[in-house]
Structure 1
Amino acid sequence: MSGSAQVGAGDAVRRYDVFNTDCAARGMVDHVTSRWGIWVLISLRSNDLRFYELRESIQGISEKMLAQTLRALVQDELVWRTVEPTTPPQVTYGLTEFGKDISEPLLELFDRITRHLPPRAAGQHGQDHGKGGQ
């Protein structure tokens, strides 16, 4: 590790006790790195989305979990929320500047992981289960 990275880590420890469960920074890290938080932030990187568009873009997330995740990310000021006074109301979500800043390394992490995965043929996702460990 470079000296500056070690100094930065020391500064973070002095400012926040990240190992304490009451630490504000720890709570935000928990929200960002939750099962769905990462996917919400990555999904909002390219476009502002309505609730149902966001749900459709993240396969496997329930409405309840999306609502909980969005509530936490809005509270952490990573995501903004606007409600159009229509019937029914149209709710749109997007990334704040802070959210864009936080989501950038998440996208880089995702890109690094996918670069190291073996290429998959179309339609093979999940089909290699149950083949006796092959």
Structure 2
Amino acid sequence: MSQASARVNGMSVFDPECTSRSVLEHATGRWGSLALAALTDGPLRFAEVRRAVNGISDRMLSQTLQRLHSDGLISRTELSTIPPRVEYELTGIGRPIADRIVDLIDAIYEQLPAIVTHQRSRDQAESGNPVEAGQL
């Protein structure tokens, strides 16, 4: 991406004061990207998002969902049921961003064999043990 292509209305993601920086951080951070990807199949309750994003604490998930909601990427709907339920869903703003995150995840999966091979080669080189053909 060139700096010119990252500019919209005079703003640039490369400018530390640009609002897009915090949105980019929220959407593509460790938990934000996984939460957005989990919501691509439809609305989910908090516990369902937590199960989908395995390994996240309740506190971190709550903070992540609050940030995504404050950026307008997801909606939060309180349902008047007993017990009360809250559902999270992608908004019109969040849908194209989540779809691109899923595309990125797909690209990573496609390249994963090559990535693993590279990581093993690097690890072997750093440990001083050369990698022999067929060892990977």
Q: What is the TM-score normalised by the length of structure 2? A: 0.75
- Asked whether the equivalents of residues 77 and 86 of structure 2 are also in contact (C-alpha less than 8 Å), the reply is yes
Aligned to 1:100: 95
Q: 1:7–1:34: structure 2 CA closer, same or farther, 3 Å change rule?
A: closer
Aligned to 1:61: 56
| Residue 114 (structure 1) aligned to one of 109, 112, 123 | 109
Larger-Rg structure: 2
Separation in structure 2 between the aligned mates of residue 91 and residue 72 of structure 1, nearest angstrom: 16
C-alpha displacement of 1:87: 3.9
Separation in structure 1 between the aligned mates of residue 59 and residue 91 of structure 2, nearest angstrom: 23
Separation in structure 2 between the aligned mates of residue 79 and residue 22 of structure 1, nearest angstrom: 24
Give the secondary-structure state (helix, strand or coil) at the position aligned to 2:76.
Answer: strand
| Residue 40 (structure 2) aligned to one of 40, 45, 54 | 45
- Aligned-residue identity in percent: 37
Separation in structure 2 between the aligned mates of residue 93 and residue 100 of structure 1, nearest angstrom: 13
- Asked whether the equivalents of residues 74 and 94 of structure 2 are also in contact (C-alpha less than 8 Å), the reply is yes
CA deviation string 1:22-66 (max 9, x = no partner): 321111001011110000000000121000011011110010010
Separation in structure 2 between the aligned mates of residue 81 and residue 10 of structure 1, nearest angstrom: 30
Q: How many residues align?
A: 116
1:9 aligns with 2:5: yes
CA deviation string 1:45-101 (max 9, x = no partner): 012100001101111001001000000000000000000133432000000011111
- Structure with bigger helix share is 2
Separation in structure 2 between the aligned mates of residue 48 and residue 9 of structure 1, nearest angstrom: 33
C-alpha displacement of 1:6: 5.1
Give the secondary-structure state (helix, strand or coil) at the position aligned to 1:44.
Answer: helix
Separation in structure 2 between the aligned mates of residue 16 and residue 32 of structure 1, nearest angstrom: 18
Separation in structure 2 between the aligned mates of residue 30 and residue 9 of structure 1, nearest angstrom: 19
Aligned to 1:32: 27
The 5-angstrom pairing of residues 70-85 of structure 1 reads 70-85=65-80
